[in-house]
Amino acid sequence: MQPAALRETVDLSAYPDLIVMLLGLKVKRPRALLAMRDVGRGLAAIRRDPPDGLLANQNFLFGWNHVGIRQYWRDFESLEHFTRQAPHAVWWKSFLKDPRSCGFWHETYSARGGIEAIYVEMPERTGLGTFAPIRTPVGRFMSSRDRLQDDAASRSGR
């Protein structure tokens, strides 16, 4: 007789403000391998010296030219603090000036409510962008914080 499958779950009660991020970088041309190298270096630095609030960081592949990252953050404030300082802020500004034939996207899911996403140079939709209407990130939709708050508010008003 075969033993029953081991089933387990998790207790997230200690993480009421948990943030889950999915990120992706898609190589479109050989030039993009330089951008991929830079992201790899950044991820290696995060593994060596995790920023405050990062609970876990996992890398995976969507395909031969599309890498993925899943991150769990203690709260949005920790994530936001990390993104607004070097090395992330430096990389982001540089990427927006010259994506080097890469596409980038992220999706953020908040335990407190709210989901948001951003796509840069990703005309071939992925994730939430495959079914939800696309909008231009201007005004209140320019920052992740504002997009999360707007989505949470629209969900609570339903």
Print the domain residue range for 36.
Answer: 19-156
Tokens describing residue 133 = 């209407």
The C-alpha atoms of residue 139 and residue 37 are separated, in whole angstroms, by 33
Q: State the CB neighbour count (10 A cutoff) for residue 27.
A: 19
pLDDT at site 20: 98
pLDDT at site 158: 59
Residue 96 forms part of a structural domain: yes
Task: Compare 87 and 110 and report the one with higher pLDDT.
Answer: 110
From the number of C-beta atoms within 10 Å of its C-beta (0-12, 13-18, 19+), residue 116 rates as buried
pLDDT at site 11: 97
Share of the chain above pLDDT 90, in %: 59
pLDDT at site 9: 97
Residue 103 forms part of a structural domain: yes
Residue 13 forms part of a structural domain: no
Residue 7 forms part of a structural domain: no
Mean pLDDT of 127-153: 91
Q: Is the pLDDT of residue 56 over 80?
A: yes
Residue 9 forms part of a structural domain: no
Mean pLDDT of 114-143: 92
pLDDT at site 39: 79
Q: How confident is the model at residue 77 (pLDDT cuts 50, 70, 90)?
A: very high
pLDDT tens digits along 2-25: 889 999 999 999 999 999 999 999
Residue 12 forms part of a structural domain: no
Residue 2 forms part of a structural domain: no
Q: Is the pLDDT of residue 31 over 70?
A: yes
Smallest Cα–Cα separation from 78: which of 21, 40, 141, 156? 21
Q: Is the pLDDT of residue 97 over 70?
A: yes
Residue 3 forms part of a structural domain: no
Mean pLDDT of 62-72: 93
Q: Is the pLDDT of residue 143 over 70?
A: yes
pLDDT at site 45: 85
Count of the separate structural domains present in the chain: 1
CATH number, domain with residue 64: 3.30.70.100
Annotate 103-120 with DSSP letters as a single string. EEEEEEEETTS-EEEEEE
